[in-house]
Amino acid sequence: MKGPKERAKGLSTIRQKNTSEKEEQREPVECSVLPPKTTYLVLRFAPGIDSQALQWLIRKIKMPREKGGGELLLKRQPSCDEKKGAVLHVSASAARISEAAEHLDLRLIGQNEPLSSSERRFIVLHELMQGIRALPEDHHVPGYPTARLYNGQSIVEVFHEVGLLESFYPLHNKENLRRLRKLWYCNFFQHQPIDEIRAYFGDAIAMYFSFLGFYTTALLFPMLLGLIQMWFSGPKSLLPALFTILNSFWVILFLVLWKRHSNCLAYSWNTIKMTGLDDEPRASFRGEMGEDRVTGRILPQYPRWKSFVKMYIVSWPIALVCAFIAFYIMLASFWAEQTILVWGTMQEDGTQMKPDYAVQALVMIPSIVYTALVFLMNYYYRKLATRLTEWENHRTQSQFDRHRVLKLVVFEFVNNFM
C-alpha cells in the first residue's frame, strides 16, 4: 500500500490536472443522524476534497444493494470542518447486518445468537470495501477525471489509493476495554481470555495472542533442556549434541500441534473456510481493460511475465546491491573501531598499552554512527521496496504484500542481524 505522503502527492497531481476546470460551489454534506453508539467505522477524507466526489460516494454508500450501493447508514461528525477534511461515521441497521452475516456465513439462518462487536465491524467494513463497486456508467470519480474506474472496482479502495480518503478506522469502547483489561493483563497468571479478545478485536488479533500464549507455554520444554545442559554439561559432554537433536524434534512437534490448535480455533470461530486468497485487483493495478477468462468481467489485464521480468531484472538486483552496501557499511564500522583502537593504544616503540577513557569513548563513535545509519537505511529502503513492488504491478494485495516482504526480509536480515 502507498504511504500517506505518496497518496497526498498523488492527490495533488490529480488536483493539478483538474485546475483547468471551473471550481464548482461546495455543497453541504448530507448524512443521516445516528446515535453515537451505532458507529462501526469512521471515514476521514482529505482536506479540500471536491464536493462532487464526496456527495457521490455518500450516495453510493446509502444506495440500496440492488442499485450497486452499500445500503449503509451515515452521519457527519458535528464538530468537523469540511475544509480540514470531512469526517463521516458509518453504521448499519440490524436487518442489514443480519442479512450480510448470513451471506458471509458468519451465522446460520435462524440462529439467534448475537454477533460480537468485532463481527459487526467486520461486516460493515466488508460491505463498505467490497459491496460498493463501480457500475458500467462510472468511468471516473466525479471531479477527478484522472481517477479512473472500471466496472466492478471497489470505489472506497480507489478513494483511499488516490488520497481522497485519508484513513478509516473503528472507534474504541471504553467500557469494553476496561472489562477486557480486568480479564486480561490484570490476571497475569491466568489463561488469556481469547474469546473476549476475539469478540472485541477480531479473529486475527485473537489468533495472534493465542499463538503467543501457545508458543510461550511450548518454550518450557527447551528451557528445561537448556538448564539441564548448562548444569551438567562438561568439556567432553554429549549433552549439547543431544540438546540440538531434541530441539529439532521439539520444533517439528510444535508446528504440528500449533497447526492442529489453530485449525480447532478456526473451526470454532467459523473461519475455517476463509483463506487469504484475494482475487480482486488492487486499486493501483494498471493494465489494459479486457474480459477476465474466469469471471467474464471487464478488468485490467497485465501479463504476469512482465512483472517477473521487472522483479528479476531490476528490483532484485537493486535489493541485493542495497544489501551489499549495508554489509559493507557494517564492515567499515568494524574497521573504524579497530583503527581507532590501534591508533589510541599504540606506543612509539610498537608496544600496545591499555586504552584510557578517551580512547574507549572514541572507539564507541563508529558504533553510534552505524546504529543511526541502520535506522536511516531501514527507513529509506522500506520506501524503495514499496516503490519497486508498486512498479512491478502485482495484481492482488496478497501478491503485493508477499513480494514486498521478501525484499524487506533480505535487506533487514543483513542490515539488522549480521
Sign, CA dihedral 392-396-397-402, equals negative
Q: Is the pLDDT of residue 379 over 90?
A: yes
The whole-number average pLDDT for the span 273-292 is 68
Q: How confident is the model at residue 115 (pLDDT cuts 50, 70, 90)?
A: confident
- Smallest CA-to-CA distance from 408 within 388, 395, 396 is with 388
**Rounded distance between C-alpha atoms, residue 88 and residue 111, angstroms:** 32
Please state the pTM of the whole predicted model. 0.64
**Rounded distance between C-alpha atoms, residue 365 and residue 227, angstroms:** 37
Of the two residues 270 and 373, the one the predictor is more confident about is 373
- Yes or no: say if 226 and 255 are a contact pair by the CB < 8 Å rule: no
- Yes or no: say if 161 and 7 are a contact pair by the CB < 8 Å rule: yes
The whole-number average pLDDT for the span 354-371 is 86
Percent of the chain with pLDDT over 90: 37
Angle subtended at Cα 90 by Cα 155 and Cα 79, rounded to the nearest 5 degrees: 110
* pLDDT at residue number 189: 77
For 18, list phi and psi in degrees, rounded to 5: -105, 10
Of the two residues 36 and 226, the one the predictor is more confident about is 226
Q: Is the pLDDT of residue 110 over 60?
A: no
Q: Which residue has the cell 450497486?
A: 68
Q: How confident is the model at residue 4 (pLDDT cuts 50, 70, 90)?
A: very low
**Rounded distance between C-alpha atoms, residue 388 and residue 6, angstroms:** 14
Q: Is the pLDDT of residue 106 over 60?
A: yes
**Rounded distance between C-alpha atoms, residue 220 and residue 150, angstroms:** 54
How many CB atoms sit inside 10 A of residue 334's CB? 12
Beta pairing partners, 169: 42
The whole-number average pLDDT for the span 353-365 is 82
Alpha helices by DSSP H, 238-356: 239-268, 304-310, 316-345
Could you report how far apart the first and last alpha carbons of the chain are, in Å? 28
**Rounded distance between C-alpha atoms, residue 187 and residue 325, angstroms:** 48
* pLDDT at residue number 150: 81
Q: What's the mean pLDDT when you consider all of the chain?
A: 83
* pLDDT at residue number 109: 46
State CA 221 to chain mean position distance: 33
- Yes or no: say if 34 and 91 are a contact pair by the CB < 8 Å rule: yes
The whole-number average pLDDT for the span 159-172 is 90
List the grid coordinates of 69.
450501493
Q: What is the DSSP string of 76-145?
A: E-TT--GGG--EEEEE--HHHHHHHHHHTTSS-TT--PPPPHHHHHHHHHHIIIII-B--TT--EETTEE
* pLDDT at residue number 213: 93
* pLDDT at residue number 83: 65
Angle subtended at Cα 150 by Cα 301 and Cα 139, rounded to the nearest 5 degrees: 140
**Rounded distance between C-alpha atoms, residue 411 and residue 325, angstroms:** 10
**Rounded distance between C-alpha atoms, residue 198 and residue 204, angstroms:** 8
Burial of 119 (0-12, 13-18, 19+ CB in 10 A): buried
List the grid coordinates of 65.
444493494
Q: How confident is the model at residue 237 (pLDDT cuts 50, 70, 90)?
A: confident
**Rounded distance between C-alpha atoms, residue 400 and residue 389, angstroms:** 7
Q: Is the pLDDT of residue 27 over 50?
A: no
Q: How far lies 417's CA from each of 326, 330, 372, in Å?
A: 11, 11, 15
The whole-number average pLDDT for the span 240-244 is 85
* pLDDT at residue number 85: 81
Q: How confident is the model at residue 1 (pLDDT cuts 50, 70, 90)?
A: very low
Q: What is the DSSP string of 138-194?
A: --EETTEEEEE--TT-BHHHHHHHHTSEEEEEPPP-HHHHHHHHHHTTTSTTS---H
Q: How confident is the model at residue 397 (pLDDT cuts 50, 70, 90)?
A: confident
Residue 248 φ/ψ region, left for φ over 0, alpha for ψ in the -120 to 50 degree band, beta for the rest: alpha
